[in-house]
Chains A and B, each alone.
Chain A
Amino acid sequence: MSETRVNKKSMSLTDYAIRYGFVALLVGLVVYFSVAAEGFASPYSAVFIFQSVAITGILALGVTATLVVDGFDLSIGAVATSALMLSAYVMVVMEQSALVAVVACLLMGALVGLINGFLIVQMRVPDLLATLGMMFLLIGLQRIPTEGRSIATGMSLPDGSTAGGSFSPEFLALGRHRFDFFIDNLIPVSVVFLVVIAIGIWLFLEYTRYGRVMYAIGSNERAASLAGVPVKKYKIIAYMISGVLASVGGILLAARLGRGDIASGNNLLLDSVAAALIGFAVLGAAKPNAFGTAVGALFVGILLQGLTMMNAPYYTQDFVKGGVLVVALMFTFALSNRR
């Protein structure tokens, strides 16, 4: 990460605080919970944390792509729940295979991203408003085919018949299979997805010209355009990445739940946006980045798992997350904008 390099001579205490403050906090948290909460420092606990952040982490990586081009995508949560409902509908009601369901969800995510990008780039709707509108639209849309009910095998359909299909085992494996890793049945598929996607997005943003150009757009759109960058195309691609990753998150969620639950996924948007924004503070990057986003997601997961194991009540969770987010944003903007 060459862009986070800080000149050695000018490293003051604040520079250290900006750069390593968040990592130190993360390490401190792990040490504290390991001591204070019994069973925290175990492989199973670690895997549980990973699993709990896998879906939000994947969504957060998508948001990161839009943040890089100085955009924002509020529709990711709705895209994920739409993918959840769509995959259930395709398999349970339309009685199609797992592959069809997955492809349908990915296409849906890409299409939503395309429409978001079109609204923002071509119709000049501000990004927050365009994706907020899309969020409402999708939340409404996913309820229409089933008249607002959740989807499960054997449910009765609007036309009076009964849904005959079911979630195929291959599909469910996406959410429930665990790979052996030193210990049998340790690593869930969703965690593998998270790691692969995180590395992929990181390589894409840091080492390919596409990522480089996206950062240029985010920093100075006009300069990028005058350097010959097709700005509109890249912005649309960013929203498509976000849409596709959100649908991947939705697929994993569907596979874990095994039914098209209309009420799940409420927290996805806030959690993933928080992870991406916390990512700004990691290593003093002060800009959206894949590594930071992954660490941000992990940070929230560790915090919540630790608190749960210390018997903090569930209803304090959102408050804690909000607090972390505010502190992280303070780290990022108040301290590092002094440059």
Chain B
Amino acid sequence: MAGIPIKIRGLEKRFAANRVLRGVDLDIPAGKVTVLMGANGAGKSTLVKIICGLYAADAGQVELNGKPFAPTTPSEALQAGIVTVHQNINDGVVPDLDVASNLMLDWLANPKSAPVLNPRKIRRSAEEIAAKLGLNFDMNMMVSDLTLADRQLVAIARAMAHAPKLMILDEPTSSLSASEAERLFALVDKLREGGVAILYISHRMSDIRRVADRIVSMRDGTIVGQYETEPLDYEGAVNDMLGHTMTDVNIAVQAPGEKVLELENLQLKPESKPINLTAHRNEVIAITGLVGVGKTQLTEVLFGQLAPAGGTVTLKGKSYTPQSARDAINQGVFLCAKDRGTNGVVQDFDINRNITLPFLSSLSTLGFVRRRSEYRITNEAISKLGIVCQSANDDIGTLSGGNQQKVMVGRWLSHPSDVLILDEPFQGVDIAARRDIGAKLRETAKDRATIVLVAELDEALEIADRILVMAEFTIVGEHKNENVDVDLILEQVSGAAAPQDLQEQKEGAAR
């Protein structure tokens, strides 16, 4: 089964005004692992969804073994030999059935199958499926009793029963431990030997180093780089994916003020290396790094959502161990969380109510909200951030993504804070809104420490006085945002550079 089973040409897809895919050309050869890299919103998942029949393309085509292929349903794609293993492991298995039934699920779901079950026969077929991949499961075990890794293997084994031509693995290791991931890689090796074309989507550099035969980088809806000659150029791929095309924003680095927040030997996970970090007033710190390197866990520790595995945090000279979001807010630490749809926006509320939600107690008398005060604050936020709306009473759902994000940022800027943390504040935001938000954050940064967490290097360069790089749940690099050595940052992001002595580096940056 050699050759190139999948050829994608000029694939385009748009959602409303948003062009998610802008002409993707991609070959996926048999017997090789093609790693697809791309930041959030680059279009990876849209591409996968078109290949596996969830979306229809607007233009361009996919060829499967030389024939045009446009599945309209996932089961049609499956019949044609395209198998997808999703990021969310439990999407691929039925926890309340035993292993045998899970492996035979497609047979069970097929209306042409015999109506009466023969347990022995099902078991035998299931064992055959598992044996083909060298897996040895207790067929009577409930899938809910298996580890996540084993569930993942069951899902893959089941998929393999279709003799797939293309297997898509979407961040398959995101919830696995290192040793569990190794079992998965062993299976991937086996599939590769069997001549299956594999499209492997991941952000984890360690995974990519382990499995990749080729790397394809995606950015803004197009393929921007392909690497297939040994040795693979990992930094180049990361560089393509993050696309640090120098931006035209000029940062005048500010002199840091008084010390506000200090992390000492903070450990996010028991086995992770300690983090040391000091944040000052009048300073904007950007923490950059790939998805899943612990940025979000860091915000959770600072916002009382997660207890650190070790180390201490000091806020304004006092020990700081927030127990809840409320606790953190009361102590002057605000978090503008990532994924505003889930973590920030209250869909049923208008702009006004979304903005004032955290501050209602200071805006009410005897429990009754003082309408005039709250509208004053909201209207101020609307004009300060340039939120495009008809009035403060517009439903938040009627606003564009960028404007919704402005509402979220405006919320946390509407009251003074000592530390303002923004996790991916530019997620799903167009360039104009991004500039507005960035400018407003810098403009108001004087009296607080601002910490911005971003996966895209661009965004860090656009906003920060100081850039920290995170990898493997710790900080591996620190750069003053003046004449930044972008290549060094990229090395650190991709984990190529051994974590350097930060002190030395800081001096280097200061020179």
Contacts and interface: CB of A to CB of B under 8 A. Distances in A.
Given A219-B347, A223-B344, A207 B368 contact: yes
Contact of A219 (B326, B337, B349, B364): B349
A10 to B, nearest CB: 10
B329 interface: yes
How would you classify the secondary structure of chain B's contact residues: helix, strand, loop or mixed?
Answer: mixed
Interface stretch (B205-213, B352-360, B460-468): B352-360
Nearest to A339: B397
A223 B326 contact: no
Nearest to A218: B348
Given A209-B369, A213-B360, A223 B342 contact: yes
Interface in A237-294: 287
B509 interface: no
Contact of B367 (A210, A215, A219, A223): A210
Contacts of A3: 348-350, 353
B219 to A, nearest CB: 30
Interface in B387-429: 390, 393, 395, 397, 411
Interface stretch (A53-61, A117-125, A227-235): A227-235
B363 interface: yes
A230 B395 CA distance: 24
A209 B347 CA distance: 18
Contact of B348 (A209, A219, A225): A219
A208 B361 CA distance: 10
Contact of B353 (A208, A210, A212, A229): A212
Contacts of A228: 324-326, 328-330, 358
Interface string A178-213: 000000000000000000000000000001111011
Interface in B325-345: 325-326, 328-330, 335, 337, 342-345
Contact of B325 (A209, A210, A213, A226): A226
A209 B367 contact: yes
Nearest to B363: A209
A5 B392 CA distance: 12
Interface in A27-48: none
A208 B367 contact: yes
A2 B350 CA distance: 9
A2 B393 contact: yes
A78 interface: no
Contacts of B358: 227-229
A162 interface: no
Contacts of B325: 225-229
A226 B358 CA distance: 9
Interface of A: 2-3, 5, 7, 207-210, 212-213, 215-216, 218-220, 222-230, 287, 339
Given A3-B349, A209-B368, A227-B329, 15 more contacts: A3-B350, A3-B353, A7-B390, A207-B368, A209-B360, A210-B367, A215-B349, A216-B353, A219-B349, A220-B342, A220-B346, A223-B342, A225-B325, A226-B325, A229-B357
16 contacts: A3-B348, A210-B367, A212-B369, A213-B357, A219-B346, A219-B348, A220-B342, A220-B345, A220-B346, A222-B342, A223-B342, A223-B343, A226-B325, A228-B324, A228-B325, A228-B326
* Ranked 5 nearest A-B pairs via Cβ: A209-B360, A219-B348, A228-B326, A227-B358, A228-B329
